[in-house]
Amino acid sequence: MPILVFLEHHEGELQKGPLGVLAKAVSLADGEVAGAILGPGAAGLAAEAGRHGAAKVWVAEDAALEAPLPQPRVDVSADLVRRYGFDTVLFGATVLTADVAAGLAARLDAGLNWDLVDLTQENGKLVGKRPALDDTVYVDVGWKSEPRLALIRTGTFEPVESGGDAEVEQAKVQLEEFSTRAKMIEQAHEESEGPSIEDADVIVAGGRGLGGPENFALVEELAKALGGAVAATRAVVDAGWYPYSTQVGQTGKTVAPRLYIAVGISGAIQHKVGMQGSNVIVAINKDPNAPIFEYADLAVVGDLHEIVPKLTELVNAKKAALFPRG
């Protein structure tokens, strides 16, 4: 089962999501896994893909691949699939890969399953698992033909460093005329400290219970003390209290940190679907009947204005005791 994994990268780093997908692909394919790294700096990242299990890495650094636009990536990926007969192409789901995968599905007339949270082999067939009905049930999905394309939910699989060495090859860049029509006019870069919510091991998320944007400082200080990232509910981003890029949930991002601390969040189903994959969920809420307590591992009932500063203080004190020189 030759599998191609699309390895997205930003600012000189391969993303954790697709590296996790690569690890899963290796476990399914028994070594026949290739990676595709397209865009500036691709060749320099091939060795890392090899260390994470890719037997071969296709790289392309053409100027047309500089901006994070999907169509040139569809052209190069489609050529790889047609030329080398990959029967499966896997993507870690992001804004860019959603477009690339959809474009590739159209180009190759292939089936695309998205939002997968698992992949298995059953009687020689690839079977995907995806949540349905607002994440209340999981359903098995398959493909009627090859190539099979799949977008995997963020944070589903952990990367595994196996220490391998990939063979590196140049991918052919032959672009369709229509693929170069879209131009990137501007890319805004949001300055932020600490890890992004997709990559963070710890997330502290704030909800409407904070009472106002100024109180996000409480959440930020706790996140800083824990070396984590700050997330938010839709209610607060809609109110303009915090940036949209931090929204977790059905219409926001899906995250799966080791620890998710929900502060003043009721736990609506639309929020739950974005964070229920977290390893440990701690909820701080003054309402003992808040829905979030139905799925939190640790429930703290009380006023966040009292609890959060104390928690931050305790974490900082513990850190100072453990690492006296900072």
Ligand X SMILES: Cc1cc2nc3c(=O)[nH]c(=O)nc-3n(C[C@H](O)[C@H](O)[C@H](O)COP(=O)(O)OP(=O)(O)OC[C@H]3O[C@@H](n4cnc5c(N)ncnc54)[C@H](O)[C@@H]3O)c2cc1C
Is the bond preceding residue 147 a cis peptide, omega within 30 degrees?
yes
Tokens for 177, please give them: 């005329």
Query: Edge-to-edge strands of the sheet including 125-132?
Result: 118-122, 125-132, 137-141
Q: Between residues 72 and 249, which has the closer beta carbon with respect to ligand X?
A: 249
Cβ 283 vs Cβ 300: under 8 Å: yes
When asked if residue 303 is in the footprint of ligand X (CB under 6 A), the reply is yes
Distance CA 178, CA 172 (A): 17
Q: Between residues 219 and 290, which has the closer beta carbon with respect to ligand X?
A: 290
**From 59, 112, 265, 281, residue interacting with ligand X (rule: CB under 6 A):** 265
Residue-by-residue DSSP string for 128-188:
EEEEETTTTEEEEE--SSSSEEEEEPTTSS---------EEEEPP----GGGG--------
When asked if residue 231 is in the footprint of ligand X (CB under 6 A), the reply is no
When asked if residue 290 is in the footprint of ligand X (CB under 6 A), the reply is yes
Least distance CB 174 / ligand X (angstroms): 39
**From 4, 149, 304, 311, residue interacting with ligand X (rule: CB under 6 A):** 304
Cβ 25 vs Cβ 5: under 8 Å: yes
Least distance CB 124 / ligand X (angstroms): 38
Least distance CB 166 / ligand X (angstroms): 37
Residue-by-residue DSSP string for 93-126:
--HHHHHHHHHHHHHHT-EEEEEESEEEEETTEE
Only one of the segments 109-117, 148-156, 262-270, 316-324 lies at the binding site for ligand X (rule: CB under 6 A); that segment is 262-270
When asked if residue 153 is in the footprint of ligand X (CB under 6 A), the reply is no
Least distance CB 215 / ligand X (angstroms): 9
When asked if residue 20 is in the footprint of ligand X (CB under 6 A), the reply is no
Least distance CB 289 / ligand X (angstroms): 9
When asked if residue 271 is in the footprint of ligand X (CB under 6 A), the reply is yes
When asked if residue 250 is in the footprint of ligand X (CB under 6 A), the reply is yes
Least distance CB 109 / ligand X (angstroms): 32
- Which residues in 192-211 contact ligand X (CB under 6 A)? 207-209
Q: How far is CA 5 from the centre of its chain?
A: 15
Residues 6+ apart with CB under 8 A from 22: 5, 7, 33, 35, 49, 52, 53, 54, 159
* Residue ranges binding ligand X (CB under 6 A): 207-209, 233-236, 247-252, 264-266, 268, 270-271, 274, 284-287, 290, 303-305
